[in-house]
Amino acid sequence: MDFLEYFNRTDVDRFIANNKFDKNQIGSVIQTQVEELSEIDIALFNVEEDRASQENEGSAKGGEEVRRYLYQLYKGDHQLRIIDFGTIKAGDSVLDTYFALKDTISTLLKAEVLPIIIGGSADLCFANYLAYTELEQSVNLVSIDSKFALGDADEIIKSSNYLSKVLFHQPNALFNFSNLGYQSYFVNPDELRLLNDLFYDIYRLGEMKKDIKLTEPIIRNADFISFNLNAVAQPFASANNGASPNGFTGEEACQMAKYAGMNDKLTSFGIYEFNPKVSDNGMTAHLVAQMIWYFIEGYYQRQGDFPISDKKDYLKYNVNPEEGDENIIFYKSQKTDRWWMEVPYHSNISRKYKRHLMLPCNYQDYITATEGEIPERWFQTFKKLK
């Protein structure tokens, strides 16, 4: 495991309360060394990098504070196979850190180990994306963020423009981008138009807060997720210089983290922009720890019900909306009651795209189709393929 040269190992003893952990606390069961990656399901680590941060310098040092709370949480009723690799050290340059992170994630993905990344600044999402380009795998990114981070694509990469680097990177491995929780007063209308023109899925904060369950099918479509803590309202995550009065609650952030963990497709998860230099009596670190707890809980509740090939265990519904010529085929899992809708495609479409054409949805999308309207996400994906 050559990638371990990028790390400083975690000293678990530093986080022990009252000189010992209870046998059911995470700190007593999390591993710090393994012989083979096949022995683990999830790898936790933080990245000591914030030099490309915009006005939130200090986020490089968040890992230890999160561990202080995470290790004392009690695990669910699961046999955890989790390792804490420690801290990816800052390289001589930001690009050196990106290389270390990309190499680490790429190695873990090849071994079918899911990395949980604690930032560090949000631009680290770009290094996460680069790991997928190396694997020649087409992916969907979901960003939970109050902004789009498009910025000026011609400038050097930083936390305010990293998304433009993802969208326009060559070779391109991105099939779809979704944003959850953007706040209009933080968004340049030109950026909004660009993302709409590219047929990406973007959802305002107010729309999602009407019912947090609306985020589930969007999250279920992700291969990797970038969760920027600026998406959480300041009263719940104030240790972030980008925090504002509006945003998701702590409970909603944990619910979305659980949805992410339950997503059979998801192969990496990053939480960024926690800044321990901003004093808040440990509240934000505790929230990040609980988000990780919920992600792990969701991971060990995965049902493996993504309908890729054999659909005999699914209820099939064929709907012909009045708006268009195309039938929409819906599938409902008899195991979990979760829904998907299939987007038609030409026989010559690249195989790497086919798994993205079974779109997660909900019962309301089915009702929308039966009432004669085309669900928006189905239409956006269909337009991409024309």
Tens of pLDDT, residues 214-236: 999 999 999 999 999 999 999 99
Neighbours of 255 (CB within 10 A): 20
pTM higher than 0.85? yes
Compute the average pLDDT of residues 122-136. 95
Same domain for 66 and 172? yes
pLDDT at residue number 351: 61
**In the listed set 256, 272, 299, which residue is the last one of a domain according to the structure?**
299
- CA terminus-to-terminus distance, the chain: 43
Number of domains in the chain: 2
pLDDT at residue number 11: 83
Asked if the structure places residue 132 within a domain, the reply is: yes
Same domain for 290 and 332? no
Same domain for 264 and 347? no
Asked if the structure places residue 306 within a domain, the reply is: no
pLDDT higher than threshold 70 for residue 95 = yes
323-348 core/surface letters (b: 16 or more CB in 10 A; e: else): eeeeebbbbbbeeeebbbbbbeeeee
Compute the average pLDDT of residues 102-127. 97
pLDDT at residue number 349: 62
pLDDT at residue number 1: 77
Compute the average pLDDT of residues 182-204. 95
Give percent of the chain above pLDDT 70: 95
pLDDT higher than threshold 90 for residue 105 = yes
Give the integer Cα–Cα distance in Å for 321 and 327.
Answer: 7
User: From its phi and psi, is residue 281 left (phi > 0), alpha (psi between -120 and 50) or beta?
Assistant: left
Strand partners, 88: 7, 47
Asked if the structure places residue 110 within a domain, the reply is: yes
pLDDT at residue number 17: 66
Which candidate, 331, 327, 328, 329, places its Cα nearest to that of 312? Answer: 331
CATH of residue 69: 3.40.800.10
Compute the average pLDDT of residues 239-264. 97
Give the integer Cα–Cα distance in Å for 23 and 6.
Answer: 30
Q: What is the token pair recorded at 229? A: 């803590």
pLDDT at residue number 106: 97
pLDDT higher than threshold 70 for residue 369 = yes
Compute the average pLDDT of residues 102-131. 97
Compute the average pLDDT of residues 273-302. 97
pLDDT at residue number 329: 94
pLDDT higher than threshold 80 for residue 309 = no
Which candidate, 147, 145, 109, 111, places its Cα nearest to that of 128? Answer: 109
pLDDT at residue number 348: 60
Note if the bond before 120 is cis, omega within 30 degrees: yes
Compute the average pLDDT of residues 70-85. 95
pLDDT at residue number 386: 67
Quickly state the pLDDT bin for 282 (edges 50, 70, 90).
very high
Same domain for 287 and 318? no
pLDDT higher than threshold 90 for residue 72 = yes
Query: For residue 369, what are the domain limits?
Result: 314-384
User: From its phi and psi, is residue 155 left (phi > 0), alpha (psi between -120 and 50) or beta?
Assistant: beta
Q: What is the token pair recorded at 55? A: 């006005």
Same domain for 324 and 187? no
Query: What is the DSSP code string of 107-159?
Result: HHHHTT-EEEEE-S-TTHHHHHHHHHHHTT--EEEEEE-SS-----TTSPP-T
pLDDT at residue number 321: 80
Asked if the structure places residue 87 within a domain, the reply is: yes
Coil, strand, or helix at residue 268? strand
Asked if the structure places residue 307 within a domain, the reply is: no
Asked if the structure places residue 309 within a domain, the reply is: no
The pLDDT tens digits of the residues spanning 267-279 come to: 999 999 999 999 9
Phi and psi angles of residue 114, each rounded to the nearest 5 degrees, phi first = -90, 120
pLDDT higher than threshold 90 for residue 310 = no
pLDDT at residue number 365: 96
Same domain for 342 and 240? no
Q: What is the token pair recorded at 13? A: 């003893």
**Average pLDDT of the residues of the chain:** 93
Contact 362, 216 (CB under 8 A): yes
pLDDT at residue number 385: 75
Asked if the structure places residue 243 within a domain, the reply is: yes
The pLDDT tens digits of the residues spanning 163-190 come to: 999 999 998 999 999 999 999 999 999 9
Asked if the structure places residue 121 within a domain, the reply is: yes
More confident residue, 358 or 309: 358
Compute the CA torsion angle 169, 170, 176, 181 (nearest 10 deg): 0
Give the integer Cα–Cα distance in Å for 222 and 141.
Answer: 6
More confident residue, 297 or 384: 297
Query: What is the DSSP code string of 310-359?
Result: --TTEEEEEE--TT-SS-EEEEEETTT--EEEEPP--TTS-HHHHGGGEE
Give the integer Cα–Cα distance in Å for 261 and 264.
Answer: 8
